[in-house]
Structure 1
Amino acid sequence: MHKTIIKPLIAASVLLGGISQGMAQDYLVNSLKNNQSANSKEAFKFTDVINIENTPVKNQGSSGTCWSYSANSFLESEMIRMGKQPVEISQIYTARNAYIEKGKNYVRMHGAITLGDGGALHDVINMYAKYGALPQSVYTGLNYGTTTNKFAEMQAMAQGVLEAAVKNPNGELSPNWIKAYTAILDTYLGQVPETFEWKGKKYTPQTFAKEVIGINPADYVEISSFKEYPYYSKFVLMVPDNWSLDQVYNVKMNDLTDIIDNALKKGYTVGWAGDVSEKGFSWKNGVAYIPAKNVADMTAEEKDALFAGPKAELEITEDMRQAAFDNYQTQDDHGMHIVGLTKDQNGKEYYIIKNSWGASNDYKGYMYMTKNFVKYKTTAILLNKGGLTKDMAKKLEIK
């Protein structure tokens, strides 16, 4: 999730999020002078069914780090669920560690793998398991004179080092390329402390993760749905920002929303990754749905009324979902955090979504996404395996 270009269809009223090649998720919220609609709160009347406690909304700034913000927000809610006092986990410490591992893979793969800010939800779990965690107050990642993330220059510098290593002008790699690469990240993001003080006690990143945050990385599973792979088995999710080539569990399309519903009912939140480039996605209005009528076939009046209250939706099939992924209509644009379930004035259900573009829209950093949108546009979800039904866990052979 990392996109660096705002797709034209979103430029006027919607933000993209980002996992892949274009920057939906990283669309700068701060670049909008007015990110609130005129009447969406009057047009949509939501009544919460489930609203699970979560930490305050953050702003990822000019960085392709939605994956880190959303999955760390998810872990913070896991702390709350476990009865712990939540800590704001350093999103950029997670990102820095992922960039180190991504750089190693890039050189190992002779440059034939994705670079840049983007990542996947599982990167947060993987980096937590390997590197531990830091509180945001200890590692802000703001070591270059700005008050919010601004990664373009750093990424350009880092990419130059990696490309030089791949070209290998000496004919044989020295061990120093990784030192040079790491030094760039440390210069822009800050060096990682070996130890630090937190509430009167000394920690390392590993002991802080174990003793304060206290999650078990083995408890978390990532799930997707594509009909070209056998159901209830694992496959490598073929999106550009799956640079680590992690496998995910494959379920049927309708299972995705059933799994989310069950998790929410049991008090578990869910990490979400997917595409937000649809014209039925409006950050400004705080609503995402799939219009029954193709937007290209709409009249000007119909387009103007896209968010003037609940509308009929297109019914989604597994064939449609697979085709949208295969023809690049569904990409790994963005990562967000599902924290609840709500209903509109007609009784239709939507998921309550926490974003990382600041508290800048009608709903102060949150939005409402229909189940049809989730079925059509999800690339993966992340959840605690405790949120699965016994039947689903058995099908997936998860213990």
Structure 2
Amino acid sequence: MIRKYFLMAAFSVAFAGSSFIHAQDDLIKKISGNRSDSTGFRFTDVINLAVTPVENQGSSGTCWSYSTNSFLESEMIKAGKKPVPLAKIYTARKSYEDKAENYVRMGGNLSWGDGGEAHDVINMYAKYGAMPEEAYTGLLNGATTNNFSEMQGLLKSMLDAVVKNPAGSISPNWKKAFAATLDAYLGPVPAMFMYQNKSYTPQTFAKEVVGIDPNNYIEFISQTNTPYWQKAMMLAPDNWAFQWDYNIPPSAITDIIDNALKNGYTVAWGTDVSEPYFSWPNGVAFVPQTPASYGKKLSPAQNRELFSGPKPEPEITPELRQAGLENGQTTDDHGMHIVGLSKDQNGKEYYIVKNSWGTHNEYKGYLHVTKAYVQLKTTGILVNKKAVPKEVASKITM
């Protein structure tokens, strides 16, 4: 598959996005074992939107920051701007600071870890601006990849000590200690930085260089336990911001994505990647007719059979999707970036998805994902409001 890259300085490397890093590492190891000698799939690009190069998030649960900042970089391209590699770890750091305040106010009754959602990137951009990656990599002491396990362990212990409140009254000093720990592991955030021979703050850089209006974006979820076409809370552990999004039927998810791609807009995508029919090494994800028959771990023979070529898929009903949400089969695992549309040798359409696990898979960091998989396993999508089809826009207030 030939990608239309905008060539720029190499990005720093990094990896996935749930609340706990060790769980992500285990997930990657599991997924990486599902490789056959040949996928049996032959893809032809239908829509291939311009994107920035694939990155690798390392041992950090920052997929939401990598994928949605990649989305913003594509938004710059769509707006006719030269894309800038944005500092994913700056976004993540500001998110951790805000999440820590919520954690303390909630008495520790909040999921803690690297995880986040696509809306966090938009919210941090609106509140704190943005930085070019060259100004803030979060990598110290010669490191070339993220590894947040030790840092997050210390942050969690610190916050739990604050929540226990042995002094009887919480001192505001904990915020200084929290920031100092982030400084120690990620480096201090510069108040001013140089970019192309000009001095900026994060706020002026966002306004003058990135030039994106955070009010132009909208997020969608899909569940049957709240009314469609109205806002509901995204019920995911990583929704520490308690965001409410528009609830839509599963078919509307792909309607929005299709309309976005056809009009030159990409999509930030949150999804479950824990199923054996999601194969990162093979670069393919689809829904087999009897998904339960494969269990959670494939034998080599099952893997060869499953990925021997295109397979028929079941109809994805709202009830089938909701069952996965309620029985724990569909979880808030990972954030990626939908950047195009392809067809297999039988003419079936797939979405081209940019990942943030490096380039060591069949399609150099990309996957081909069926619409059925997206309807079944999506936890949320974020798009430019201009990408929403009229049929959907008429039913909500944007």
| TM score, norm. by length of structure 2 | 0.91
Q: Please name the residue that 1:93 is paired with.
A: 90
How far did 1:239 drift?
0.6
Residue 197 of structure 1 pairs with residue 194 of structure 2: yes
DSSP 3-state at the match of 1:137: helix
Sequence identity of aligned pairs in percent?
57
Among 158, 162, 177, the residue aligned to 2:159: 162
Partner of 1:136: 133
Give the secondary structure class of the aligned counterpart of 2:235. coil
Q: Does 1:345 align with 2:345?
A: yes
Please report how far the alpha carbon of residue 296 of structure 1 lies from its aligned counterpart in structure 2 after TM superposition. Answer: 2.6
Please report the RMSD computed on the Cα atoms of aligned residues, expressed in angstroms. 2.1
Question: Does the CA contact (< 8 Å) of 2:16 and 2:57 recur in 1?
Answer: no
In 2: Cα distance, 1:106 partner to 1:315 partner: 40
2:246 maps to a residue whose letter is Y
Deviations 1:44-99 (A, max 9, x none): 11111111100000000000000000000000000000010000000000000000
Match of 1:323 in 2: 323
Deviation at 1:313, TM superposition (A): 1.3
Structure 2 contact 285–369 (Cα < 8 Å) conserved: yes
Question: Helix, strand or coil: the match of 1:256?
Answer: helix
The aligned length equals: 381
SS where residue 133 of structure 2 aligns? coil
Paired with 1:353 and 1:347, the residues of 2 have a C-alpha distance of: 18
Shift in alpha-carbon separation, 1:132–1:297, aligned structure 2, 3 A: closer
Q: In 2, Cα distance between the equivalents of 1:148 and 1:379?
A: 27
Q: Which residue of 1 aligns with 2:243?
A: 246
Alignment of 1:192-341 (within 5 A): 192-296=189-293, 301-341=301-341
Give the distance between the partners of 2:252 and 2:282, measured in 1 at CA.
Answer: 28
2:72 is matched with 75
Ranges in structure 2 where 5+ consecutive residues have no aligned partner: 1-14
Partner of 2:397: 397
Is the 8 Å Cα contact of residues 267 and 383 (structure 2) preserved in structure 1?
yes
Letter in 1 for 2:360: S
- The one-letter code of the counterpart of 2:113 is G
| Matches of 1:308 and 1:276, distance apart in 2 | 20
Is the partner of 1:103 in helix, strand or coil? helix
| 1:39 and 2:23 matched | no
Deviation at 1:34, TM superposition (A): 9.1
Could you say what secondary structure the match of 2:138 adopts? coil
Q: 1:109-145 CA distances to partner (integer Å, 9 max, x unpaired)?
A: 0000011110011000000011101111110001254
Give the match's secondary structure for 1:335. strand
Q: Name the residue aligned to 1:19.
A: 18
Q: Report if aligned partners of 1:295, 1:303 keep a CA contact under 8 Å in 2.
A: no
Cα gap change, 1:371/1:230 in structure 2, threshold over 3 Å: closer, same or farther?
A: same
Q: Distance in 2 between matches of 1:284 and 1:30?
A: 11
Would the alpha carbon gap of residues 178 and 22 (structure 1) be closer, same or farther in structure 2, given more than 3 Å must change?
closer
2:17 partner amino acid: G
Q: How does 1:378-389 map to 2 (within 5 A)?
A: 378-389=378-389
**Which runs of no fewer than 5 residues in structure 1 stay unpaired?**
1-15
CA positional deviation for 1:20: 4.7
SS of residue paired to 1:262: helix
CA distance in 2 between counterparts of 1:35 and 1:302 reads: 10
Specify the code of the residue in structure 2 equivalent to 1:19.
S
